[in-house]
């Protein structure tokens, strides 16, 4: 399972939209093709809902399944049946 860590989208410990969108554009989404992907939350900073939606929208075009949370208690939020 591949993991996206939301900490990687923070700038100085905060989510700033311009920096976040730049990181989204730079990410190679093809590496998630047909993969199970976990979006791991960030306990340090509040993450707005729109940030999760943007990541999920990009992943849903590539990933087989998308989960949110911690690995042992992950919640499935997307499943692409072929």
Helix (H, G, I), strand (E, B) or coil at 75: strand
Q: Is there a domain that residue 6 lies in?
A: yes
Task: Say what the pLDDT of residue 41 is.
Answer: 81
Q: Is there a domain that residue 52 lies in?
A: yes
CA distances from 17 to 12, 30, 46, 61, 79 (A): 13, 23, 13, 22, 28
Q: Is there a domain that residue 68 lies in?
A: yes
pLDDT tens, 15-71?
999 999 999 999 999 999 999 999 998 767 888 999 999 999 999 999 999 999 998
Q: Is there a domain that residue 61 lies in?
A: yes
Q: Is there a domain that residue 77 lies in?
A: no
CB-CB neighbours of 15 under 10 Å: 18
- Whether the Cβ atoms of residue 37 and residue 70 lie closer than 8 Å to each other: no
Q: How many domains does the chain have?
A: 1
Cα–Cα distance, 10 to 33 (Å, whole number): 24
Task: Say what the pLDDT of residue 32 is.
Answer: 98
Domain extent at residue 62 = 2-72
Prediction pTM value: 0.89
Q: Is there a domain that residue 10 lies in?
A: yes
């Amino acid at each position: 399972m591949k993991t996206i860590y939301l900490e990687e989208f923070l700038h100085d410990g905060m989510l700033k939209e311009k920096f976040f969108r730049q990181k989204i554009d730079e990410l190679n989404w093809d590496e998630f093709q047909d993969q199970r992907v976990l979006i791991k939350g960030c306990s340090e900073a509040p993450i707005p809902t729109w940030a999760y939606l943007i990541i999920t929208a990009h992943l849903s075009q590539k990933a087989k399944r998308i989960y949110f949370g911690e690995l042992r208690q992950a919640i499935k939020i997307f499943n692409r049946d072929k």
